[in-house]
Amino acid sequence: MVAFGKRLKERQIQEWQGYYINYKLMKKRVKQYVQQIEVGTQDRRHVLKDFSRMLDNQIEKIVLFLLEQQGILASRLAKLDEQHDSLQQQPDMSQISELREAYRAVGRDLLKLLFFVEINAIGLRKILKKFDKRFGYRFTNYYVKTRANHPYSQLQQVFKHVGIGAVVGAVSRNLHELQNRQGSYLSIYDQPALPLQDPVVDSIRAAVDRLTHSTNFLNFLAQHALIMQDELPTPIEEQVDDQKYHFISLLLNLANTFLYMVNTYIVVPTADDYSLSLGAAATVCGIVIGAMAVAQVFSSVYFSAWSNKSYFQPLVFSSIALLVGNTLYALAYDLNSIAVLLIGRLFCGLGSARAVNRRYISDCVPLKIRMQASAAFVSASALGMACGPALAGLLQTNFRIYKLTFNQDTLPGWVMAVAWLIYLIWLCISFKEPSHDFEENQLPQESNSAVQNDALEEGLKQPLLVSSEDKQQEEDSEQECDESEEASEESRRPATSIRSAYRLLTPSVKVQLLIYFMLKYVMEILLSESSVITTYYFHWSTSTVAIFLASLGLTVLPVNIVVGNYISNMFEDRQILLASEIVVCIGILLSFHIINPYSVPQYVCSGLIVFVSAEVLEGVNLALLSRVMSSRLSRGTYNGGLLSTEAGTIARVIADGTITMAGYLGQSRLLNVTLLPSLFICISSIVATCLTYNSLY
């Protein structure tokens, strides 16, 4: 993987080389700023003013050229429209064919312009991020806020590609009308669902999709999945994605995610009752629930490594392990063995294929729909979390078939075993293993195929010539940049072990992982001990506990909608992060049993505050984590998704162990004893967050 500056240079169009953002020069200027600040030859205010002016000039250059090219395309379309009008009076199939090719030529030039906008937008984001990182200042927030909503803003032209939509519409409409209609001119406005099979229009739509990308809600929701994406995609990468993509296979991955979350939480309402029926204490439910997380700590690593070679095989193994695990879980009742019960849960944890699910979306789903797929991954998890306890509440029956008992304790195991058996059959019939060697076969032929098949791709691969005004600066820094690019290429190789991955974590990333650990610990304490606590204080039935847990799970998507569409637009992510941590802390304090009697409103309200604020915190935290984590952790076995999964899983293991250990002090003390470490970890994360922000800003 090469440095971003080198990739940016290679993908610029030769005849437009003077109008792109000068990323190399700006990167050098950022380095100079840092050196000047360190030696005291420049003050911060002057640096901010100078860099802002430099950015404004770069954006103005881009926008003026963009407007000029839009005008040229509009003039060509106006002339073609005149020819189109004359053909409507006297249709001629040969002239229609020529006119259609002329519109396609405009479409190809439009596609070049869309790539021009995209490359410059990515370059701007990159240089702003580099400035924030090297200079230790939230310049990006200031710059975007002051420019984006100004009446004379030119930044909107780049990020919102104002005016291009009209050209896209004109090309698409006229090509649609000139499609093989034998003289019949149907409008896309009359029949919007009518598909237009034209490769140029398809490419334009894909490029526009990448620019508009998605709504804020989908972005926010997808960040829960922590599926990192490479920027600056090329047409050949899209071709690779399309070759790998198979909708049913994606659906099977999402189904695996949903069923696993159901499997995780379906036992929570009845785990204490099951433990009692096998002669153990009710608080042993912590070990029963946590056994799955213990095994997941190890399964996440080997599944992540396995997905380097195959996706189908680990999914099959996952299904078989979960089928066996749930069967053992159900049989433990008739065998009267707590050991079999725990072994069954361990097998379920060994079948955790969430690393494979994430990896499949990252590697095999086309970029244009990857954000939606990532959001679907999170939605499937949230839905499974809500359906698990709800399903447990419905399984309130008791009967025997031969020597097998079917009751509220065993039915979750039997139901999930049947579900995984059905899933396994569907998997074997419908899953399509993506080709792992497609890129190896295709990429060496990239240059030749591009020259032969698409003049646009040929233009995008021409090297950027050095402009006369920057020639001397480029020559002076040539050797330095070459060396830095080689070092950057080396530094972008994926981590090869947990230890090497840990060494890549900056202090801010470690704080984000601590926050993730805290919120998973707090949520696991709330959910896992809910059955024991509510039975002891309120004498709730299994159905009531199931309704409570399902209600908590159902808040996930509405909360994300509100945060993604509204709150994230009103406040900075770091402000939301700190506020959410404080609210979690308040919820924990309200949960303590200090005043008698301990009431249902106190427990439900405090639990709702903790859960909802933790959900908000998770989304914002993972959004920040995906932006500050090293690019070396975006791929490979030991990636950022694996690290966050391990942090959350270890938190769940410790939380479930805490519940079981606290149970030895008696159920009357269970609530307060388990809340104390939650409060300590939450306060620690708040302090770490404040210290990190003070040191950076």
CA 198 from centroid of its chain's CA atoms: 31
Q: Are 507 and 674 in contact (CB under 8 A)?
A: no
Question: To 5 degrees, how large is the angle CA 676–CA 680–CA 683?
Answer: 135
Task: Report d(CA 319, CA 351) in Å as an integer.
Answer: 7
Each residue of 529-588: pLDDT tens digit? 999 999 999 999 988 999 999 999 888 878 877 777 677 767 777 788 899 999 999 999
Q: What percent of the residues of the chain are helix, what percent strand, and what percent coil, each to the nearest 5?
A: 80, 0, 20
Cα–Cα distances (Å) from 388 to 62, 295, 513, in that order, read 53, 20, 27
User: Per the structure block, which two tokens stand in for 29?
Assistant: 């200027």
Q: Using the 8-state DSSP alphabet, how is residue 406 labeled?
A: E
SS3 (DSSP) at 400: strand
Domain at 3-182+197-230, CATH from 3.10.20, 1.20.58, 3.30.70, 3.60.90: 1.20.58
User: Per the structure block, which two tokens stand in for 405?
Assistant: 């008992």
CA 506 from centroid of its chain's CA atoms: 20
Dihedral sign, Cα of residue 676, residue 680, residue 683, residue 689: negative
Cα–Cα distances (Å) from 195 to 175, 177, 188, in that order, read 12, 12, 9
Q: Is 134 exposed, middle or buried (0-12, 13-18, 19+ CB in 10 A)?
A: middle
CATH 3.40.5.50 fits 239-432, yes or no: no
Each residue of 107-141: pLDDT tens digit? 888 888 888 887 888 788 788 877 877 766 667 76
Which of these, 125, 117, 120, lies nearest to 207 by C-alpha position?
Answer: 117
Rounded (10°) CA dihedral 560, 562, 568, 570: -170
Prior bond of 597 cis (ω within 30°): yes
CA 79 from centroid of its chain's CA atoms: 45
Residue 443's φ and ψ, nearest 5 degrees, are -60, -35
SS3 (DSSP) at 455: helix
Question: To 5 degrees, how large is the angle CA 683–CA 684–CA 690?
Answer: 90
Q: Using the 8-state DSSP alphabet, how is residue 396 labeled?
A: -
Rg of the chain over CA atoms, in angstroms? 29
Which of these, 477, 511, 462, 445, lies nearest to 689 by C-alpha position?
Answer: 511
Q: Using the 8-state DSSP alphabet, how is residue 563 labeled?
A: I
Task: Report d(CA 613, CA 519) in Å as an integer.
Answer: 9
Q: Are 308 and 637 in contact (CB under 8 A)?
A: yes
Task: Report d(CA 434, CA 252) in Å as an integer.
Answer: 13
Q: How would you classify the pairing of strands 399-401 and 404-406?
A: antiparallel
Q: Is 149 exposed, middle or buried (0-12, 13-18, 19+ CB in 10 A)?
A: exposed
Type of residue at 183: G
Residue 198's φ and ψ, nearest 5 degrees, are -140, 125
Q: Enumerate residue ranges in the chain where pLDDT < 50.
A: 1-2, 182-186, 188-190, 192-195, 214-216, 230-240, 438-490, 696-697
User: Per the structure block, which two tokens stand in for 98?
Assistant: 């020529």
Q: Are 656 and 289 in contact (CB under 8 A)?
A: yes
- In the chain the first and final C-alpha atoms are separated, in Å, by 32
User: Per residue in 632-659, is it b (16+ CB within 10 Å) or e — as a string?
Assistant: bbbbbbbbbbbbbbbbbbbbbbbbbebb
Decide whether 239-432 matches 502-696 in CATH topology. yes
SS3 (DSSP) at 656: helix
Residue extents of the structural domains in the chain = 3-182+197-230, 239-432, 502-696
DSSP 219-276: HHHHGGGT----SS--HHHHHHHHHH--HHHHHHHHHHHHHHHHHHHTTTTTHHHHHH
CATH 1.20.1250.20 fits 502-696, yes or no: yes
Q: Are 518 and 663 in contact (CB under 8 A)?
A: no
Residue 151: predicted pLDDT: 62
Task: Report d(CA 239, CA 268) in Å as an integer.
Answer: 45
User: Per the structure block, which two tokens stand in for 52?
Assistant: 């802002």
